[in-house]
Amino acid sequence: MSVITAPILSEEHRMIQESAREFSERILKPNAARWDQEESFPQEGIAAAAEYGFLGLNIQEVHGGAGLGNLHAALMLEEINRWDASTGVTISVHNTLICAPVQEHGSRELQQEFLPKLMTGEVIGAYCLTEPQSGSDAAAMRCRAEKVDGGWRLNGTKAWVTNGGVAGLFVIYAISDPEGRKSYNITAFAVPKGTPGLSVGKKEVKLGLRGSSTTEVILEDVFVPDSYVLGEVNSGFKIALAHLDEGRLGIASQALGLHRACLEDSIQYGKERRQFGKPIADFQGIAWKLADMATELDAARLLVHRAAAMKDAGEFCAKECSMAKLFASQACNRAAQEAVQIHGGAGYTTEFPVERYYRDARITEIYEGATDIQRLVISRHLLK
């Protein structure tokens, strides 16, 4: 059993937190509503994030990165998602699901070519696991990788790819042994943009995260050299799941940022809006909602920080990562519901950002493992 309950933040943790807060208030706060309304990718946000070092946070110093851990990333992502969840998911996926596997499982050639570009944002990464017919049951994928001379030929369609329209490097999971046991027959491939046969399909029109690019990715006889295989052949699903732990911490941190946005805006509105001759926050019905939102935010943050600290300490923590995502995403949705309620009619309009938080919050319970799948992971660990 882990000894980590609530990690104490170091000076370095606080520095990252402060620099992410400064970045988010300066770059994201003034632009987030516009990116959402125009459904435009937060290009300026991503370029500025690269300058702050946020795109290579987890890349080790030997590769020129900051070499920081999951707790640093959680603190950074809470600050970023406080103001813009579209920028938040772009950075989370890029760091946890692309930079991390390329660093840990890529060939030297792949690392040398792509890690510097991933860090500067010259190349943004995309993670291609889901397919139209396989979501929660990701190992039921149909995308095929056939062995050919010097490499592999990929065919299939990937769905719901975050960063799909802007990515320069796609990490793609495909069935490499059709006769093999489910989950042990998948290989991970790194495929650069511009590879013949790789194309970006339809762009999704979404309820929230409207600045984030979400597309299909189509593979038609795409040749990938052996040197662009990540890890061992047929061990790709293990890689996909291992990095999903980090990914889930990223999404749990996104939920913390959105939750905090709902709470802070509701406190401000509650103090300013007057009915029956006094601020609505003076009514116990409103004040108690704020108390519950604040308590759940702290509880969620403790779960996220515990799991991040366990991961940084090298402890096995799939259950704790799932607990953090399960609780933080549900609490965030409860907070978003209450934030709109506290704002009354104003909360139902684009004049106040809570309507965007409400739309953005919804996804935290769906991607990187829906709520039911987190329960599945947690209960499997309890019952084994």
Nearer to ligand FAD by Cβ, of 141 and 339: the residue is: 141
Tokens (6 digits) for 18 = 């402060």
Residues near 302 by beta carbon (within 8 Å), at least 6 away in sequence: 6
Sign of the Cα torsion 329, 332, 336, 337 reads: positive
Residues near 149 by beta carbon (within 8 Å), at least 6 away in sequence: none
> Of these residues, 113, 216, 320, 368, which one is catalytic?
368
Nearer to ligand FAD by Cβ, of 117 and 362: the residue is: 362
Closest CB to ligand FAD belongs to which residue? 135
Alpha-carbon distance 49 to 77, whole Å? Answer: 11
Nearer to ligand FAD by Cβ, of 79 and 365: the residue is: 365
- Report DSSP state, residue 131: B
Token match 């706060």: residue? 29
Nearer to ligand FAD by Cβ, of 305 and 319: the residue is: 319
Nearer to ligand FAD by Cβ, of 143 and 331: the residue is: 143
Q: Report whether 119 contacts 56 (CB < 8 A).
A: yes
Side-chain half-sphere of 165: how many Cα atoms within 13 Å?
Answer: 16
Alpha-carbon distance 95 to 75, whole Å? Answer: 14
Tokens (6 digits) for 149 = 């001379």
Kindly report the number of other CB atoms within 10 A of residue 205's CB atom.
8
Alpha-carbon distance 361 to 251, whole Å? Answer: 10
Torsion of the alpha carbons at 311, 313, 316 and 321, rounded to the nearest 10 = -30
Write down the least CB distance from residue 181 to ligand FAD, Å.
19
Write down the least CB distance from residue 289 to ligand FAD, Å.
27
Torsion of the alpha carbons at 307, 309, 310 and 312, rounded to the nearest 10 = 120
Write down the least CB distance from residue 11 to ligand FAD, Å.
34
Nearer to ligand FAD by Cβ, of 198 and 297: the residue is: 198
Write down the least CB distance from residue 203 to ligand FAD, Å.
11
Interface with ligand FAD (CB under 6 A)? 93, 127-130, 135-136, 160-162, 206, 209, 214, 363, 366-368, 370-373, 376
Q: Report whether 318 contacts 245 (CB < 8 A).
A: yes
Write down the least CB distance from residue 379 to ligand FAD, Å.
10
User: Any catalytic annotation for residue 368?
Assistant: yes
What is the C-alpha R_g of the chain? 21
Write down the least CB distance from residue 7 to ligand FAD, Å.
28
Report the SS3 class of residue 348. Answer: helix
Token match 């989370």: residue? 92
Q: Report whether 152 contacts 223 (CB < 8 A).
A: yes
Write down the least CB distance from residue 212 to ligand FAD, Å.
7
- At residue 3, φ and ψ (nearest 5 deg) are -95, -5
Nearer to ligand FAD by Cβ, of 209 and 342: the residue is: 209
| Amino acid (one-letter) located at 344 | G
Nearer to ligand FAD by Cβ, of 172 and 261: the residue is: 172
Q: Which residues pair with 126 in a beta bridge?
A: 170
Write down the least CB distance from residue 132 to ligand FAD, Å.
8
Q: Which residues are catalytic?
A: 368
